[in-house]
C-alpha cells in the first residue's frame, strides 16, 4: 500500500507527481472543482488521483486543512482514502487519493450512455454504501464528523462499483456531545437543509437531509433542481398525493426492470422522510 503522509513539502514527491502528470497537463485531468483540478497519476505502480490546489486561494487552503485533519485520520471502506499530502511554500497544495476507476455517481446517473447507466441493484448498493459511510462519520469514529455536502458528485465508484463518499473540504468535526459552532451557510443549492439556511447551523439531521436528496435523485434519475421543471421534492409530493409515487422511478430503468413497485415506494418514502426530518439512515 502506498503511504504518503507528508505534512511538509517534499521536493522529491512534487517532482514525481509533476513528471507523472506531465507537469500537470490538461490531458491527465479527470475532474475539475471550485478549488483545483484532479489528475490521474501512477506512483510506484499504483493509480492515484492527485488534487492540485493553488495556495493563494483562501477557500482552497480551508479545503486542504479539512481534508488532511479529517479524512487523513479516518479509514473506512465507504470513504475515499487519502493516501498523502504535501505543501509547498508559496506553491501548490497537493492531496493524493485512491483512484476511483468508475468516476463519480452523478456521471453514472445523469451523464452517461445507457450501457453505462447503473442498474437497479447497483443503485441500491450505492445507497447502502453511502449510508454506511455517513453512519461511520456520525457515530463510528472518535469524534462526530458532519460532511455538509452530501451529493451525487461527491460519491465516487471504485473498480468494483463500491461507492465511497469523498470531498471533505466542507466537513466539520466536534465531540459527540458538543454543538457545531458555525453560522456560515455552506453546501450546494438543492442539498442544503432548510434549517441550515435559516440558522447557519449544521447538524446530523442536515446530513440526513442531503442523504435523503441523494436517495431521491438516484431512484428518480433527476437532479433536485432542473431548468424548466418543478423541483424534485415538489414533483414527488404531487405524485404522492395522486397515489403515483412509484411512477417517479428513472424512466430508463423501466425497460430494464429488476425492481418491484413496493421496493421503489419504500425507498422513495425513506428519502422523503429523510428530507422531512426522518431517520432514513436506519
Which amino acids are annotated catalytic? 149
Give buried/exposed letters for 242-266 (b at 16+ CB in 10 A, else e). Answer: eeebbebbbeebeeeeebeeeebee
Cell numbers describing residue 275:
428530507
Minimal CA–CA distance to 67: which of 182, 154, 181? 154
Q: Yes or no: say if 155 and 104 are a contact pair by the CB < 8 Å rule.
A: yes
- CA 50 to CA 253: how far, in whole Å? 34
Helix (H, G, I), strand (E, B) or coil at 42: strand
C-alpha distances in Å from residue 67, one per residue of 27, 41, 91: 25, 19, 18
Beta-carbon neighbour count of residue 27 at 10 Å? 8
Distance of CA 227 to the CA centre of its chain: 23
Distance separating alpha carbons of residues 130 and 128, to the nearest angstrom: 6
Do the beta carbons of residue 97 and residue 134 sit within 8 Å?
no
Amino acid at each position: 500500500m502506498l503511504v504518503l503522509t507528508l505534512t511538509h513539502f517534499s521536493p522529491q514527491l512534487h517532482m514525481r507527481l509533476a513528471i507523472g502528470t506531465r507537469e500537470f497537463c490538461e490531458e491527465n485531468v479527470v475532474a475539475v472543482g471550485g478549488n483545483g483540478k484532479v489528475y490521474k497519476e501512477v506512483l510506484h505502480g499504483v493509480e492515484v488521483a492527485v488534487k492540485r490546489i493553488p495556495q493563494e486561494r483562501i477557500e482552497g487552503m480551508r479545503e486542504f486543512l479539512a481534508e488532511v485533519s479529517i479524512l487523513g485520520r479516518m479509514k473506512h471502506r465507504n470513504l475515499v482514502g487519502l493516501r498523502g499530502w504535501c505543501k509547498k511554500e508559496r506553491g501548490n497544495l497537493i492531496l493524493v487519493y485512491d483512484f476511483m476507476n468508475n468516476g463519480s455517481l452523478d456521471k453514472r446517473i445523469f451523464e452517461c450512455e445507457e450501457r453505462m447507466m447503473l442498474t437497479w441493484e447497483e443503485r441500491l448498493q450505492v445507497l447502502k454504501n453511502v449510508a454506511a459511510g455517513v453512519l461511520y462519520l456520525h457515530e463510528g469514529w472518535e469524534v462526530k464528523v458532519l460532511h455538509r455536502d452530501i451529493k451525487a458528485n461527491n460519491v465516487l465508484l471504485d473498480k468494483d462499483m463500491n461507492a465511497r463518499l469523498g470531498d471533505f473540504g466542507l466537513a466539520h468535526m466536534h465531540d459527540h456531545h458538543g454543538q457545531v459552532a458555525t453560522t456560515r451557510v455552506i453546501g450546494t443549492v438543492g442539498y442544503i437543509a432548510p434549517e441550515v439556511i435559516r440558522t447557519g447551523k449544521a447538524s446530523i439531521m442536515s446530513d440526513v437531509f442531503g442523504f435523503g436528496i441523494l436517495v431521491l435523485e438516484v431512484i428518480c434519475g433527476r437532479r433536485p433542481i432542473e431548468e424548466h421543471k418543478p423541483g424534485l421534492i415538489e414533483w414527488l409530493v404531487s405524485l404522492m398525493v395522486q397515489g403515483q409515487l412509484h411512477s417517479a422511478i428513472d424512466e430508463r430503468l423501466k425497460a430494464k426492470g429488476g425492481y418491484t413497485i413496493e421496493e421503489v415506494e419504500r425507498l422513495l418514502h425513506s428519502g422523503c422522510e429523510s428530507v422531512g426530518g426522518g431517520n432514513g439512515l436506519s
